[in-house]
Amino acid sequence: MGNTSSMLTQYDIEEVQQHFSQQEIVSLYERFCQLDRNGGGFVSGEEFLSVPEFAVNPLSQRLLTMLDGLNFKEFVAFLSAFSPRATVQQKIEFIFKVYDSDGNGKVTFNDMLDVLHDLTGQFISEQQREQVLTKVLEEAGYTKESLLVMSDFVKILGSSGLKMEVEVPVD
């Protein structure tokens, strides 16, 4: 217990402190050290997968591309979107990043289809998924070829309440 806090200085805490309290950052650091088995200072994708509750999540593969090789600062930044103090804008940005797999700032039809596939894969066929997605897109004023950008996402998701919060256990 004692040796983990001494490796985390006050300066470090302030550097990463965006939305988390001091206590939460200390807890997160412990958690980070727990996950980082080989002590290299960063958590690899495999180490994340060793958490069974994460591995069974349908979006785990997509999240892994964002999570692989994170150091502690990036780890906290990743989780800051889930803090109750994060703004809706930040949460939407996070969701956008999950969709935008190639990171070019545009979400394509296929990106959305892929995420839908991750979530619903066994239950409906590919063709049905495409149909549903096309229909719903058209209804919202887009087409199959549209490339959605961040502001579109804000428009779509921003209006209703977005619940995306995680509580950091503080002992």
Partner 1 sequence: MNSSEGKLKSSSSELDLDRPNIEDYLPSGSSIQEPHGKLRLRDLLDISPALTEAAGAIVDDSFTRCFKSNPPEPWNWNVYLFPLWCCGVVFRYLILFPMRALVLTIGWIIFLSCFIPVHFLLKGNDNLRKKMERALVELICSFFVASWTGVVKYHGPRPSMRPKQVFVANHTSMIDFIILEQMTAFAVIMQKHPGWVGLLQSTILESVGCIWFNRSEAKDREIVTRKLREHSQGADNNPLLIFPEGTCVNNQYSVMFKKGAFELGCTVCPIAIKYNKIFVDAFWNSRKQSFTMHLLQLMTSWAVVCDVWYLEPQNLRPGETPIEFAER
Binding site for partner 1 (CB under 8 A): 1, 28, 31, 34-35, 48, 51-54, 57-60, 63, 67, 79, 82, 91, 94-95, 98-99, 112, 115-116, 119-120, 123-124, 128, 131-133, 135-137, 139-140, 142, 153, 156-157, 159-160, 162-169
Count of beta carbons in the 10 Å neighbourhood of residue 63: 15
Instruction: Name, in order, each residue with C-beta under 8 angstroms of 81's C-beta and a sequence gap of 6 or more.
Output: 90, 91, 93, 94, 164
Q: Is the CB of 11 or the CB of 135 nearer to partner 1?
A: 135
Among residues 79, 88, 93, 63, which one has the least CA distance to residue 19? 79
| Contact (Cβ atoms closer than 8 angstroms) between residue 48 and residue 64 | yes
Residue 15 Cβ vs partner 1, minimum distance, rounded to whole Å: 20
| Contact (Cβ atoms closer than 8 angstroms) between residue 73 and residue 15 | yes
Residue 33 Cβ vs partner 1, minimum distance, rounded to whole Å: 12
Q: Is the CB of 11 or the CB of 163 nearer to partner 1?
A: 163
Q: Is the CB of 11 or the CB of 168 nearer to partner 1?
A: 168
Give the distance, in angstroms, between the CA of residue 7 and the centroid of all CA atoms in the same chain. 27
Residue 147 Cβ vs partner 1, minimum distance, rounded to whole Å: 14
Q: Is the CB of 11 or the CB of 153 nearer to partner 1?
A: 153
Give the distance, in angstroms, between the CA of residue 77 and the centroid of all CA atoms in the same chain. 10
Residue 162 Cβ vs partner 1, minimum distance, rounded to whole Å: 6
